[in-house]
Amino acid sequence: MPRTITAVSVVDAAADDLRRRLFAGELSGATLTEVAIATEYGISRSTGKAAVEKLVTEGLLERGTHKTPRVPELGPDDVRDIYGTRLRLEGEALRELAAEKRVPEAAVEANSRVRASGSGAALDSVEPDMRFHAALVQAVGSPRLERMYRSLVDEVRLCMAQVQGRSLLSVDQIAAEHQEILESIAAGDAEQAVTHLRGHLGRASDRLAEAIGALER
């Protein structure tokens, strides 16, 4: 029996594709009106508006002049705030996991994929890197924490899109620093795990803030 496509699923499909294009850097600096979206995707204006509003709510679009939605351009201070907030959330997740010496298998697998991406393009390591960190948060088992963290990850992807996914840290370094975090969790050493995380995110934040700052000069 054929599936019925509802208005909600069309909104989600349009929003998903817009989100993908945002993270790929295809819409940097663009303004997205409901008319333009409706025309491009062959959907009604109301559906186009709903798709745009979904991304505005997620913080992936912002209201510009005359309230026209546009892709936000994040600066170095935004990067530092995003990564500082990540440290607070991920740090608490690490403490909980280390208390139980519980190493998430999904994080181990994601780090293996980071290593395997070493010979590929710079962007190839971004998704498994994000999955590694997300797996640590997801292992805590709090849907609300996951939602908060997901919004931060989306902002990181927007930042990466602005610098066109250039390699900020070597794949070997990323994987090695991930491994240090996992080993500290396995040893039940929460503060050492957080120390490794702080260094790891701090280096990534500094490089990304520097790269975005260079675009502004």
* pLDDT number for residue 24: 78
* pLDDT number for residue 29: 67
Domains of the chain: 7-70 (1.10.10.10), 76-216 (1.20.120.530)
Give bridge partners of residue 70 from the DSSP assignment.
Answer: 31, 62
Return all residues near 95 (Cβ < 8 A) that are at least 6 apart.
190, 193, 194
* pLDDT number for residue 166: 59
| Amino acid found at 213 | G
Return all residues near 8 (Cβ < 8 A) that are at least 6 apart.
none
* pLDDT number for residue 85: 96
- Whole-angstrom Cα distance, residue 177 to residue 196? 7
- Report the predicted TM-score, pTM, of the whole model to 2 decimal places: 0.79
* pLDDT number for residue 185: 98
DSSP codes joined into one string, 165-217: T--SS-HHHHHHHHHHHHHHHHTT-HHHHHHHHHHHHHHHHHHHHHHHHHHH-
- Residues (pLDDT < 50) of the chain are 1-3, 5, 121
* pLDDT number for residue 28: 72
* pLDDT number for residue 1: 46
* pLDDT number for residue 66: 67
Is there a contact between 29 and 71 (Cβ–Cβ < 8 Å)? Answer: yes
* pLDDT number for residue 5: 44
